[in-house]
Amino acid sequence: MTINDVLEYGFHQFKEISDVPRKEIELLVMYVCGLKKIDLILNSNETIKKEALVEIEALVNKRLEGKPLQYIIGSEEFMGLNFIVTENVLIPRQDTEILVEEIISRFKKESNLQILEIGTGSGAISVSLAKFLKKSKIVSLDISRKALSVAKLNAKKNHVADQITFIESNLFEDLTEEESFDIIVSNPPYIPSMDILELQREVKDYEPMLALDGGEDGLEYYREITKKSVDYLKKDGLLAYEIGYDQGIDVLKILKNDFHHIEIIKDLQKHDRVVLGYHK
């Protein structure tokens, strides 16, 4: 079979389970064969070796069983950067880029920024902020030691390890109260507990539950982080959250007592996606 034959085969296999079947099979072929996208175009009639075909078929079957492609190939793109992903971390998503872009646009002219991320996971947010806010220093917290191991690898991979301090901590527990920050950012678990079973199979069966379950109403972590953040934010420091598509007003209400100039930012589908507020 040629590269083009395999791409056609994969497209038809994936079209019922993926919004981007062509992209998925291309990434799978590139991963197994060690190719770049340009190789798929220029060498589409080249024959793929038998061993590679066997491996591709096995991985296609894993994908058809519901395993996310990112966990199969072990990586995902975010903010134009490449991140290692394992089943110990959430897969970085394009929606989260909105949160990162909003912070960058507000602080790109600032220097010596002190940033805290709560629940770093793969490190996608912290690493991206470090990359684009080059003079910033970031403290990244996560309760999961395995997630922190992945985040550290991503900081090294993207050459920002010297800007980020990773700490194993349940929210703020292992921070000293003397520390203060210009920005606190978080993409916390925000799925209501009862809704977990309704999620896509790729999410509920493979992504870490610890990073999904936001308590009874999905707002548990917003309440906890907001309440404690005032002890660590400088005056007029920014608190920035990613939120669920229908949580904007609820999170705004959580912030209203201690924050001013609160904004709800929508994604490209016009759904609530980010809430920002400045410490009074």
Per-residue pLDDT tens over the stretch 76-100: 999 999 999 999 999 999 999 999 9
3-state secondary structure the chain: CEHHHHHHHHHHHHCCCCCCHHHHHHHHHHHHHCCCHHHHHHCCCCECCHHHHHHHHHHHHHHHCCCCHHHHHCEEEECCEEEECCCCCCCCCHHHHHHHHHHHHHHCCCCCCEEEEECCCCCHHHHHHHHHCCCCEEEEEECCHHHHHHHHHHHHHCCCHHHEEEEECCCCCCCCCCCCEEEEEECCCCECHHHHHHCCHHHHCCCCHHHCECCCCCCHHHHHHHHHHCCCEEEEEEEEEECCCCCHHHHHHHHCCCEEEEEEEECCCCCEEEEEEEEC
pLDDT tens, position by position, 164-218:
999 999 999 999 877 899 999 999 998 888 888 787 777 877 878 888 878 889 9
Do 3-65 and 79-279 show the same overall fold? no
Listed residue (136, 166, 168, 171) closest to 154, CA to CA: 166
Supply φ then ψ for residue 126, to 5 degrees. Answer: -60, -45
Q: Are strands 181-186 and 233-242 parallel, antiparallel or unpaired?
A: parallel
Judge: domain 3-65, CATH 1.10.8.
yes
Query: Splitting the chain (280 residues) into consecutive groups of 10 residues, what average pLDDT does each group show?
Result: 95 93 96 94 93 96 95 96 96 95 95 96 98 95 96 98 96 88 95 83 80 88 96 96 95 96 94 96
Q: Where are the domains of the chain?
A: 3-65, 79-279
Taking the domain 79-279, which CATH number applies?
A: 3.40.50.150
